[in-house]
């Protein structure tokens, strides 16, 4: 798909954003991008877009494969905020079930050892730049692991879809993403823009009308390594609209935990 963003009908979202501004509301906005391991041309593009839009990117880094060159790159690009993306990004779910690295069928001790190792190894690479936020691959993790995660050093969990509770477990904030522009089960290009715009508009309307909690940061989820021009263009156009409207950059505050 190569649809020009100038040909996309943004009117329903623009009306919703105007309603937000008329009501004096603000939208806590954040951006997560998954699967980083090394500097690439796509990471350059992500970095440049983040700077252009004024919205930092929480870069979910795969610990087992992460390179020193990525750490050096992030040090030079403060718009990129590293977080922990599983351990090896390998599917451990039984055949026929949805992909999951930290599946319920695995021994808790094995999963926790890798979860802890991921934080430790990235802490060595990134130092104080690393946020102790855990992003499970495929946005799935066995619920039995959550009560243990604060104890191994994490302060937040990030998956996909609106959260049910502000905390996933004691000491573990839930900070989710809400919109993924990639058509993973189809073209692997951009989801039809009309569908994405309707989704964002509906989600924001629910917040504005009190049907959803606007204290929850609204998250954009991307995967820079597999973006085509249509995905890049839509992401830029969407985030620009949100930032120019009610969107305000959300920052994680570990003091709240």
CATH architecture of 9-245: Alpha-Beta Barrel (3.20)
Residue 7's pLDDT is 87
Residue 6's pLDDT is 62
Strands 27-36 and 57-61: parallel
Residue 5's pLDDT is 58
Residue 35: φ, ψ to 5°: 85, 20
Give the residues across from 28 on adjacent strands.
248
Domain ranges of the chain: 9-245
Per-residue pLDDT of the chain (257 residues; tens, 9 = 90+): 345 556 899 999 999 999 999 999 999 999 999 999 999 999 999 999 999 999 999 999 999 999 999 999 999 999 999 999 999 999 999 999 999 999 999 999 999 999 999 999 999 999 999 999 999 999 999 999 999 999 999 999 999 999 999 999 999 999 999 999 999 999 999 999 999 999 999 999 999 999 999 999 999 999 999 999 999 999 999 999 999 999 999 998 754 44
Residue 253's pLDDT is 78
Q: Which of 219, 203, 209 is nearest to 28 (CA)?
A: 219
Rounded CA separation 152/140 (Å): 19
Interior/surface letters 83-97, b for 16+ CB within 10 angstroms, e for the rest: bbbbbbbeebbeeee
């Amino acid at each position: 798909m190569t649809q020009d963003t100038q040909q996309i009908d943004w009117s329903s979202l623009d009306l919703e954003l105007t309603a937000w501004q008329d009501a004096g509301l603000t939208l806590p906005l954040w951006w997560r991008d998954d699967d980083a391991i090394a500097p690439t041309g796509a990471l350059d593009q992500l970095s440049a877009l983040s700077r252009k839009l004024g919205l930092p990117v929480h870069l979910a880094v795969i610990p087992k494969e992460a390179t020193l060159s990525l750490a050096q790159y992030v040090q030079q690009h403060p718009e990129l905020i590293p977080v922990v993306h599983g351990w090896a990004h390998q599917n451990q779910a039984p055949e026929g079930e949805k992909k999951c690295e930290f599946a319920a069928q695995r021994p808790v001790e094995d999963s926790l050892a890798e979860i802890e190792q991921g934080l430790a190894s990235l802490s060595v690479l990134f130092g104080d730049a690393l946020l102790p936020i855990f992003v499970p691959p495929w946005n799935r993790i066995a619920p039995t692991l959550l009560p243990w995660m604060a104890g191994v050093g994490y302060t937040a969990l990030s998956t996909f879809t609106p959260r049910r509770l502000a905390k996933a477990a004691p000491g573990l904030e839930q900070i989710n993403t809400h919109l993924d522009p990639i058509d993973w089960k189809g073209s692997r290009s951009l989801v039809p823009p009309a569908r994405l715009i309707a989704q964002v508009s509906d989600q924001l309307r629910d917040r504005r009308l009190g049907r959803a909690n606007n204290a929850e940061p609204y998250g954009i989820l991307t995967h820079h390594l597999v973006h085509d021009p249509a995905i890049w263009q839509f992401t830029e156009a969407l985030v620009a609209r949100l930032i120019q409207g009610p969107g305000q950059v959300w920052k994680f505050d570990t003091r709240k935990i």
